[in-house]
Chain A
C-alpha cells in the first residue's frame, strides 16, 4: 500500500529552483532514502510533504488522499522528525515526549504511557527526568526522533536524523528505525551519508539541484553502471584521453576521470579477468588497478560528474 505519493512537486525561492519536478512513492514497511548533497532540495521536499511549505506545483497524496483536501487528517497520519533539534531543552526528556504526545492528540494518560514506552525503546529511561540540555548530542537526537512517534504514525518523515552524532549513537538510531520499518511504518529518509542509504533503505532516490536523477533499489542503481564491478586505474592521465584509445569506448564506460585516476565500468557481461587484461594493455603506464563493487558514490559520480562528499 502506497502511504506517500509525491507527484511532480516544484518549489522556487525567487530565482532559485529548490525542487524541480520531484516524484516519489513510499510503501508501508519501506524505507525510501532521498540521497543528495547539502542544498539538493531534500529538506524543501520534506517541508512540502509535511505541509510546512506550499508547493508551487505538484501534489502530495497521503494514504491515497490529496494532502490539500484534508491537511489535518494527513498530518495525523504522519510523523515528522526535522533535521534541526525541535525540542525544549529546559524540559526533561519525559516532559518533551509527553508534551508532543498531547500536541499529537493523545490524552494525558496515553501520552504518559507512550512516553514511558518510547523512553525504554530509545534507551533513555535512566535519563528521563533530566533536562534535555544536559543530554549528549545522540540522546537529543533520539528524543527528537521520539517526539514524532508518540501517536504511532503510519508514515514517518526523517530529515537527516543522524547529523552531527557519533557512530555508535548513529547505529542506535538506525537500528531503531529498522524496527519501525519492521512494524510496517513507511519511512521517507533523507540523508547525505552514502552508507546509511546503502544499509538502511530499500529504495533510493538520488537528488541534486532539486531533481531526482535516479531512483531504484541499490542493485538497480548499481546496474546503471553496467554490472556489479568497476575498475579504478591509477596512472598519469594528464596528456592522454580515453577517446583516443582504439575501441575503448565500445568496451568500457568512463565514470570518472582525473589527472591521476580513471574509474570505468565494463560494458556488457564480461569476464573481469579479460577486462583487467585489456586495461593493462592501454597506452598508458598503469601504476595500480583495483576492482570494486560500485557504490552509491560511483552512481552519484556518474550522474553528476562529482562526488557526493565534495
Chain B
C-alpha cells in the first residue's frame, strides 16, 4: 500500500510539478547565490580595479619611481592609473570616468630631499563615488607616512642622493650609497619583518576540537576556524600551526568554512522544505481524500507514513541539490559521505514526521503556516543551524540546544566532515527513533481529531 500511496503522490507531483520545482529551486538558488558571492569561483583579485589619474608635474626621478610603483606587482592588480595632464584629468573626473586624481606637484623631489616641508601629495576625489576614492586616500596616507619615515631616518644622506639623482655623482659613489643604505636597512629588519604584532587565521589541527570543546567550556575555540591576534614573535605554537597550514592547498580554509556553514544552512533549509512538503497532507485534508481513505481503512498510519515517505523523497532530492550542488560550487570534498548520507536520511525522516505531527495538531493550513514557521525557525536557531551553537545564550546552549534533533544532526555532520565520525550511527538511530515516535503520535492525534469531527 505504501508503494501505491507513494506512486500516487509522485504521479501528482509529475502532473503538477510547479510547487515541487519551487521546493528544488529554492535551495539550488540559495546555494548558487552563496557560491557566486563566496564560492571558489569568486576571486578578490577580479574585483574591479580602481581607475585614477596621475598628474606628474614634477617630472623627477622620485616622481617617476612613485608613478612606477602604482601599477606594478600587487598594486597593478587593484589599481589602474592613467597618466595625463591636470586639465584632462579634471575633465575625466567631471565626466565620472575616474575615481580620483593624484597630483605630484612641481618640486616634489627637491622639497622631499631637502626636507624643506613634509611630504605633500595632492588627491582630488570623485564626489560621485564613495568607496574607491576612500581606498585611494588610505593608500596615499600610507605612502606619505612611509616617505616621511624614510625621510626621518635617511635625512642626513639626502644631499648625496640628490646629487646622484641630478647626475652629479659617479657609479662608485652610487654603489657606496646603496651599500650603506642596505646596511642600515638590515638594522631595522627585526622591527619590520616579521612585524611585532600580526593578524593570522589559524586552522584547528584536527577535528577533535569540534566535539570535545562543547563540553569543556572552551567555546571560543570550537569550529574549524577561529581568529585572533597572535604575538608572532613569541607564539611558537602558532608558528607550528602556520607551518602545518602551509602544507594544505591555498583555498582549503575557505572551503572548510563553507562546508561548516553549508551543513548548518542545509539543516535549516530542510526544516522549511519539510514544512512545504508536508503541506500536501493539509491538501489531502482539504480535498477530503484523507477522509475518503478512512472510509476504506481503519488504520491511519499507512497513509501518514506514505506521506512522510513522499516528503522524505522530496527532502532527499533537495539535500542532494544543496550538499551535492553546494559541494560542487564550493569545491568541497565531503569527508565520510556514507555516514553523512545516513545522518541526512535520519534527519529528513525526523523533519517529515515532525511536520506531520504539526499538521495533526493544526489541520487548518493557514493557521498551521504560522506555527510551522515558528517551529522551523526555533529548531533551526536553537539547534545551531543558523548560528554556531556556542554563540547562543548560555541557558539555551546548555539546556535546550543539546535536546534539539537539529543540533544532533548539525553537530554530528560537522564532526563527521571534519574528521570525527564516531557518533554518527547513534545519532542516525536517535533521529530514526524520533521519526517513528512522531509518526505514531501523528497517527494518534489524527485519529482523535477525526473522531471528534474536526476537519481542515
Contact = CB atoms under 8 A, between A and B. Distances in A.
B298 interface: yes
B288 A86 contact: yes
Contacts, number: 71
Interface stretch (A50-58, A225-233, A274-282, A288-296): A50-58
Interface string B1-43: 1001000100110011000000000000000000000000000
A80 interface: yes
Nearest to B289: A86
B450 interface: yes
Interface stretch (A95-103, A188-196, A248-256, A300-308): A95-103
Nearest to A157: B295
A65 to B, nearest CB: 14
Given A13-B453, A90-B12, A90-B15, A52 B294 contact: yes
A129 B287 CA distance: 21
Interface string A3-33: 0000000010100000000000000000000
A87 B289 contact: yes
Contacts of A53: 450-451, 453
Contact of B298 (A71, A131, A148): A71
B12 A54 contact: no
A53 B447 CA distance: 10
Contacts of B293: 103
List the 8 shortest-distance A-B pairs measured between CB atoms, nearest first: A86-B288, A80-B295, A86-B292, A90-B15, A90-B16, A102-B4, A71-B298, A54-B451
Nearest to B14: A90
Contacts of B4: 99, 102-103
A50 B453 CA distance: 13
Given A82-B292, A86-B288, A88-B12, 10 more contacts: A11-B453, A75-B295, A82-B288, A88-B8, A90-B15, A91-B11, A103-B1, A103-B293, A103-B296, A147-B292
Contacts of A54: 451
Which secondary structure dominates chain A's binding surface?
loop
B46 interface: no
Given A87-B289, A103-B1, A95 B295 contact: no
Interface string A202-246: 000000000000000000000000000000000000000000000
A75 B450 CA distance: 16
Contact of B15 (A13, A71, A131, A147): A131
Contact of A100 (B12, B292, B298): B292
Contacts of A91: 8, 11-12, 15
B450 A103 contact: no
A59 to B, nearest CB: 16
Contacts of A78: 295
B11 A95 contact: yes
A44 B453 CA distance: 9
Contacts of B450: 52-53
A72 B298 contact: yes
A183 B417 CA distance: 67
A35 B257 CA distance: 70
B15 A51 contact: no
Nearest to B292: A86
Given A90-B15, A91-B11, A103-B4, A51 B291 contact: no
B168 interface: no
B288 A75 contact: no
B186 interface: no
Interface string A58-94: 0000000000000110010010101011111111000
8 contacts: A44-B453, A75-B297, A82-B291, A86-B291, A88-B12, A91-B12, A91-B15, A104-B296
Contacts of A51: 294-295, 298
B12 to A, nearest CB: 5
Contacts of A102: 1, 4
Nearest to B299: A72
A86 B284 CA distance: 9
Contact of B295 (A11, A52, A89): A52
Nearest to A47: B453
Interface centre among B4, B8, B16, B293 (most CB of A within 10 A): B8
A52 B296 contact: no
A251 to B, nearest CB: 49
Contacts of B297: 72, 75, 103
A75 B292 CA distance: 11
A105 to B, nearest CB: 8
